[in-house]
Amino acid sequence: MTQQHTFLFFISILLLTVTANSQVTNQDTIKNKEKYGLRIGVDISKPINSFFETDNKALEIVSDFRVLRNYYAAVELGFLDKTTNEDYLNFTTTGSYIKAGFNYNAYENWAGMNNEIYVGFRYGFSLFNQTLNSYTPNVNGTYFIPETLEPNTEFKDLTAHWVEFIFGMKVETFNNLFLGVSVSFNNMISTTDPDNFKNLQVPGFNRVFLNNKGVGFNYTLSYLIPIIKKNK
Amino acid sequence: MKKYFILILVFFLTILSCEKDDICIDTTTANLVIRFYNNDIQTDVKDVLLDSVWAINKNRIEQYKSVSTDSITIPLNLNENSTTYIIENNSIKDTIKFNYDRKDIFVSRSCGYKTIFENLQIDNNSINWIKNININNTIIENDTAAHISIFH
Q: What is the DSSP string of A135-171?
A: E---BSSSSSPPPPB---EEEEEEEEEEEEEEEEEEE
Q: Do A135 and B113 touch (CB under 8 A)?
A: yes
The whole-number pLDDT of residue A204 equals 94
The whole-number pLDDT of residue A44 equals 92
Min distance B9 CA to chain A CA atoms (Å): 12
Q: What is the pLDDT of residues A124-183, one digit of tens each?
A: 999 999 999 999 999 988 899 999 999 999 999 999 999 999 999 999 998 889 999 999
Q: Do B112 and A210 touch (CB under 8 A)?
A: no
Q: Tell me the residues of B at the A interface, defined by beta carbons under 8 Å apart.
A: 8, 11-12, 15-16, 18, 22, 24, 28-29, 31, 55, 58, 61, 75-79, 104-115
Q: What is the pLDDT of residues B46-79, one digit of tens each?
A: 998 989 999 998 999 988 988 999 999 999 999 9
Least CB–CB distance from B11: residue in A9, A136, A143: A9
The whole-number pLDDT of residue A137 equals 94
Helices A2-26 and A45-52: angle between axes, nearest 10 degrees: 150
The whole-number pLDDT of residue A69 equals 86
ipTM of the prediction greater than 0.85, yes or no? no
Q: Name every chain A residue with its beta carbon within 8 A of the beta carbon of B61.
A: 143
Residue B117's pLDDT band, with cuts at 50, 70 and 90, is very high
Residue B20 has pLDDT above 70, yes or no: no
Calculate mean pLDDT across residues B25-41.
Answer: 91
The residue ranges of chain A whose pLDDT is under 50 are 1, 24-25
Residue B127's pLDDT band, with cuts at 50, 70 and 90, is confident
Q: Which residue of B has its CA nearest to A9?
A: B12
Min distance A155 CA to chain B CA atoms (Å): 14
Residue B16 has pLDDT above 80, yes or no: no
The whole-number pLDDT of residue B143 equals 86
What phi and psi, each to the nearest 5 degrees, are found at residue B145? -125, 160
How is chain B split into domains, by residue range? 29-151
The whole-number pLDDT of residue A2 equals 58
| Strand extents, DSSP E, chain A | 33-43, 56-68, 71-85, 89-105, 116-135, 153-174, 177-191, 201-202, 206-207, 213-231
Q: Which residue of B has its CA nearest to A3?
A: B16
The whole-number pLDDT of residue A21 equals 53
Q: Is A198 in CB contact (< 8 Å) with chain B?
A: yes
* Domain annotation for chain A: domains and CATH numbers: 2-231 (2.40.160.20)
